[in-house]
């Protein structure tokens, strides 16, 4: 029996071993592709490291941007080769500032910090979000120089292999030197020396401790911590770094408190030309790269917290993709037509040349911005963000970075065209009577019962107010949200929007894109100047020439709105902006306190939006004449040698739309119906992407770079207390005057 028991035990053991062997064999078969992949990644990492030299960490490829005619507009290149500094030229305190924040065990690990990985896993698991990373300085260097920013397990594994190989080839001091000369500090500055010169006009060796901590805080998120546009974030980051250095005994208490109390004064780099085209082309290219990498743009939110979380993700992606463009050797083709660009710049400069008042910074006080869109493509062909002026570091592009109150120019977008979609026509009777607790008309008079055409012609505020109430603010505002307006979501519960009373405002790019939607009979395209982006290997990574459209309005409503805006130009508030060599439709926009002035309109060829005002809003007596004259002069010049083309006539009966042949633009339109914010049954608009930028406005708006997502309306935000005019808030934001009147030429 004992012998039999031993045999049984041996048999069981053989069976167990066989099962284990089978499991191992199965696992090997299942994992073999990944094992093979990992081995290849290891070989590639060794090859990268083996072929590298010190010059590898100094060289950079140049990205070139071309205009619509194939002429070079500008380049994108980091100057790390020009500003490369050796290890002994970098202050020890600056080195420590990066070590304490990025990799405290830098001098102890071999390229990978396993303790940091475990610590990050625990922290991130507890918060259910990525609160803490685990990449060492060596890993970051490997990723920045040799690899992509793709978030994949393959890239992470290769990064770890490469970090270990670099540690074998180079000393710790060399690796830190390479790292500090290659990280991105925003605004085109790569490396600590370029950052020191760009922000303080000093060599890095001359920076104070406070200045060192300040620039050390930027690379964590160069867009979010941009000193020129996000100073508060940049200062908070500086203070955090000083606190960490003090807490870890890198500096003593005297140095800490002295640095903490030091005022940061930035040096403004000299700008010798108007760079509106360059800044916009770079911005559009970066957002196109973001989209290509899978970033999902949003511009509708349920709370400030949701918005802030989105903006954090936006800034991370923007920084990563901007960094790619700055050092990746891409070729970018744009739609910018320099002939039209120069005409728009000239129209702005000529009409404002008599206004020479300047701010304390030497900037013209009265400013203007304009955007022109080619209706056939939806592409921006000209963009001006400022008057021509040689300045020291004033780079604000008001055409897409500034948000201002639009006045009555908003009415066609959220009041009149939606109203037409409900079955109304230009002949529909509307009431123009005083409204108790409501807005006043610009001229203080009321016409009683009039046609909608007359109401549009004379920009009657009472009519717009009543219509918007009937539509409901949420429905009216959804048209803007669906066309990518970045800051409209804050105001989707307020009737003041019907007259242009925004919390933050709108940008000229947004207005041009929206008016182009009416010109294109309801088909919206996200405005951009990018056509194609090709990488250094010759592969097309972005192709915006084939981007789709989104249906916002129906065809006949757009044709009726266009016809009414023709009347505005022929005999209404826009008569002084009438163009002799083109058939045009347009709308004025003036705030009730004469601080912002707009003219927006289009021909069959082009849509142009023009804004005039002061960066720090103040009353301007003749602002409306400036905006109209600029628009007229530019559109006249833009239509030289073009034949006059009239707009398509509208159908008298709405029901005839059902048999109307759709246009080519409509046939190509992609649609998606929002469940809770569908304006009318005929509106099917939810753009998949929309954009704008991540910088501040410099006047009466805040930063914002997001896209589109339609969601339920947010709860009413709390605004500061202020004065009311006829029952409408006139200062929903301390720095921005809401609009309650418009078109008052």
Q: Is the dihedral of CA 446, 447, 453, 458 positive or negative?
A: negative
Give residues with Cβ within 8 angstroms of 494, minimum separation 6: 473, 501, 716
pLDDT the model gives residue 36: 75
617 vs 9: which has the higher pLDDT = 617
Question: What is the token pair recorded at 464?
Answer: 């717009």
162 vs 392: which has the higher pLDDT = 162
Q: Is the pLDDT of residue 696 over 80?
A: no
Cα dihedral 179, 181, 184, 185, rounded to 10, equals 120
**Residue for token pair 């080769």:** 81
pLDDT the model gives residue 44: 79
Predicted confidence band of residue 148 (pLDDT cuts 50, 70, 90): low
In this structure, is residue 446 part of a structural domain?
Answer: yes
38 vs 722: which has the higher pLDDT = 38
Residues 156 and 34 in one domain: yes
pLDDT the model gives residue 147: 73
Residues 34 and 136 in one domain: yes
Lowest mean pLDDT among 78-82, 226-230, 397-401, 503-507: 78-82
In this structure, is residue 108 part of a structural domain?
Answer: yes
From the list 489, 734, 506, 742, the residue with the least C-alpha distance to 617 is: 734
In this structure, is residue 74 part of a structural domain?
Answer: no
CATH assignment at residue 436 = 3.40.710.10
pLDDT the model gives residue 703: 31
In this structure, is residue 148 part of a structural domain?
Answer: yes
Q: Is the pLDDT of residue 32 over 90?
A: no
Residues 253 and 377 in one domain: no
Residues 236 and 348 in one domain: no
What percent of the chain has pLDDT above 90?
58
Q: Is the pLDDT of residue 8 over 80?
A: no
Q: What gap in Å lies between CA 273 and CA 341, rounded to an integer? A: 14
Query: pLDDT tens across 266-278, in order?
Result: 986 544 445 899 9
Lowest mean pLDDT among 40-54, 97-111, 203-217, 512-526: 40-54
pLDDT the model gives residue 325: 87
Average pLDDT of span 413-433: 97
pLDDT the model gives residue 55: 79
pLDDT the model gives residue 159: 84
What percent of the chain has pLDDT above 70?
78
Average pLDDT of span 610-638: 94
Residues 342 and 246 in one domain: no
Could you count the other beta carbons within 10 Å of the beta carbon of residue 325? 21
H-helix segments, 366-503: 398-401, 411, 417-421, 452-457, 461-471, 473-482
Tell me the pairing of strands 530-534 and 523-524. Answer: unpaired
Strand partners, 506: 404
Q: Is the pLDDT of residue 4 over 90?
A: no
Answer for the pair 452, 424: CB distance below 8 angstroms, yes or no. Answer: yes
Average pLDDT of span 308-326: 88
Residues 259 and 352 in one domain: no
CATH assignment at residue 111 = 1.10.3810.10
Answer for the pair 674, 453: CB distance below 8 angstroms, yes or no. Answer: no
**Residue for token pair 């826009």:** 574
Q: Is the pLDDT of residue 313 over 70?
A: yes
Predicted confidence band of residue 77 (pLDDT cuts 50, 70, 90): low
Average pLDDT of span 521-532: 97
Domain that holds residue 196: 29-60+84-183+185-218+228-263
Residues 256 and 350 in one domain: no
Average pLDDT of span 60-88: 82
pLDDT the model gives residue 141: 87
Lowest mean pLDDT among 158-162, 354-358, 503-507: 158-162
User: pTM above the 0.75 mark?
Assistant: no
| Tally of residues, the chain | 745
Residues 153 and 235 in one domain: yes
Residues 234 and 381 in one domain: no
Residues 253 and 346 in one domain: no
Q: What gap in Å lies between CA 309 and CA 71, rounded to an integer? A: 40
pLDDT the model gives residue 366: 95
Q: Element (H or E) spanning 432, and its range? A: strand 429-432
pLDDT the model gives residue 717: 30
Q: Is the pLDDT of residue 671 over 70?
A: no
Lowest mean pLDDT among 60-69, 641-650, 696-705: 696-705
In this structure, is residue 11 part of a structural domain?
Answer: no
109 vs 719: which has the higher pLDDT = 109
In this structure, is residue 298 part of a structural domain?
Answer: no
In this structure, is residue 17 part of a structural domain?
Answer: no
Residues 126 and 211 in one domain: yes
Q: Is the pLDDT of residue 591 over 80?
A: yes
pLDDT the model gives residue 392: 58
Q: Is the pLDDT of residue 302 over 60?
A: yes
Query: pLDDT tens across 134-144, in order?
Result: 689 998 888 87
Query: pLDDT tens across 553-569, in order?
Result: 999 999 999 999 999 99
DSSP string, 549-599: EEE-S-HHHHHHHHHHHHHHHHHSTTGGG--TTS--EEEEEE-TTS-EEEE
Domain count, the chain: 2
In this structure, is residue 73 part of a structural domain?
Answer: no
Average pLDDT of span 710-728: 27
Q: What is the mean pLDDT of the chain?
A: 82
Predicted confidence band of residue 58 (pLDDT cuts 50, 70, 90): confident
From the list 560, 559, 582, 585, the residue with the least C-alpha distance to 574 is: 585
Predicted confidence band of residue 146 (pLDDT cuts 50, 70, 90): confident
Residues 349 and 238 in one domain: no
pLDDT the model gives residue 660: 40
447 vs 707: which has the higher pLDDT = 447
pLDDT the model gives residue 128: 44
Query: pLDDT tens across 373-401, in order?
Result: 999 999 999 999 999 987 755 568 999 99
Answer for the pair 67, 153: CB distance below 8 angstroms, yes or no. Answer: no
């Amino acid at each position: 029996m004992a012998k039999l028991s031993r045999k049984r035990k041996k048999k069981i053991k053989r069976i167990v071993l066989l099962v284990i062997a089978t499991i191992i064999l199965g696992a090997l078969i299942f994992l073999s592709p990944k094992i093979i992949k990992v081995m290849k990644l290891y070989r590639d990492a060794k090859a990268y490291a083996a072929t590298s030299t010190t010059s590898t960490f100094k060289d950079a490829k140049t990205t070139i941007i071309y205009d619509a005619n194939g002429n070079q507009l500008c380049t994108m290149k980091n100057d790390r080769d020009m500003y490369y500094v050796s290890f002994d030229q970098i202050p020890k305190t600056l080195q420590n500032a990066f070590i304490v924040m990025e990799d405290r065990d830098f001098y102890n690990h071999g390229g990978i910090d396993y303790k940091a990985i475990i610590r990050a896993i625990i922290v991130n698991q507890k918060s259910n979000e990525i609160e803490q990373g685990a990449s060492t300085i060596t890993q970051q260097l490997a990723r920045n120089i040799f690899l992509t920013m793709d978030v994949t397990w393959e890239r992470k594994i290769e990064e770890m292999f490469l970090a270990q190989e670099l540690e074998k080839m180079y000393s710790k001091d060399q690796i830190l030197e390479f790292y500090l000369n290659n990280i991105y500090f925003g605004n085109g500055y790569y490396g600590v020396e370029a950052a020191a010169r760009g922000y303080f006009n000093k060599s890095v060796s001359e920076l104070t401790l406070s200045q060192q901590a300040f620039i050390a805080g930027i690379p964590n998120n160069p867009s979010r911590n941009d000193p020129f546009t996000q100073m508060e974030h940049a200062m908070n980051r500086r203070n955090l770094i000083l606190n960490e250095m003090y807490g870890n005994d890198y500096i003593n208490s005297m140095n800490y408190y002295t640095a903490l109390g030091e005022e940061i004064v930035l040096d403004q780099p000299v700008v010798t030309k108007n760079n509106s085209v360059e800044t916009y082309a770079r911005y559009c290219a970066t957002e196109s790269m973001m989209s290509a990498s899978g970033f999902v743009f949003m511009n509708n939110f349920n709370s400030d917290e949701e918005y802030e979380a989105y903006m954090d993700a936006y800034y991370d992606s923007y920084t990563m993709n901007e960094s790619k463009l700055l050092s990746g050797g891409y070729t970018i083709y744009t739609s910018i037509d320099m002939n039209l660009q120069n005409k728009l710049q000239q129209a702005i400069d000529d009409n404002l040349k008599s206004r020479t008042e300047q701010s304390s910074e030497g900037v013209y006080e009265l400013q203007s911005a304009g955007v022109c869109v080619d209706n056939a493509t939806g592409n921006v062909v000209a963009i001006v963000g400022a008057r021509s002026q040689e300045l020291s570091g004033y780079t604000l592009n008001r055409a897409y970075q500034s948000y201002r109150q639009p006045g009555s120019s908003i009415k066609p977008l959220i009041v009149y065209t939606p109203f037409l979609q409900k079955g109304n026509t230009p002949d529909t009777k509307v009431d123009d009577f005083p409204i108790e607790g409501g807005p006043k008309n610009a001229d203080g008079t009321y016409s009683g019962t009039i046609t909608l055409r007359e109401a549009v012609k004379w920009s009657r505020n009472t009519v717009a107010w009543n219509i918007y109430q009937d539509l409901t603010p949420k429905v009216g505002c959804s048209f803007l949200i669906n066309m990518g307006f970045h800051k409209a979501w804050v105001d989707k519960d307020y009737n003041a929007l019907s007259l242009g009373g925004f919390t933050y405002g709108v940008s000229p790019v947004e207005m041009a894109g929206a008016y182009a939607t009416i010109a294109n009979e309801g088909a919206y395209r996200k405005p951009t100047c990018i056509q194609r982006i090709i990488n250094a290997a010759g592969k097309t990574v972005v192709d915006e020439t084939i981007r789709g459209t989104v249906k916002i309005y129906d065809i006949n409503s757009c044709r009726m709105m266009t016809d009414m805006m023709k009347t505005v130009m022929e005999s209404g508030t826009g008569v002084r902006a009438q163009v002799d060599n083109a058939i045009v439709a347009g709308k004025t926009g003036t705030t009730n306190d004469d601080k912002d002035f707009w003219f927006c309109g289009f021909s069959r060829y082009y849509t142009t939006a023009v804004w005039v005002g002061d960066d720090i809003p103040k009353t301007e007596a003749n602002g409306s004449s400036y905006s109209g004259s600029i628009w007229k002069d530019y559109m006249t010049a833009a239509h030289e040698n073009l034949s006059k083309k009239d707009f398509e006539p509208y159908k008298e009966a709405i029901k005839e739309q059902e048999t109307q042949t759709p246009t080519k633009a409509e046939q190509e339109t992609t649609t998606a119906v929002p469940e809770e914010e569908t304006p009318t049954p005929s509106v099917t608009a939810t753009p998949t992407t929309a954009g704008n930028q991540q910088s501040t406005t410099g006047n009466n708006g805040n930063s914002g770079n997001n896209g589109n997502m339609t969601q339920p309306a947010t709860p009413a935000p709390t605004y500061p207390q202020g004065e009311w005019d006829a029952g409408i808030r006139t200062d929903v934001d301390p720095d921005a005057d809401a609009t309650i009147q418009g078109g008052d030429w």
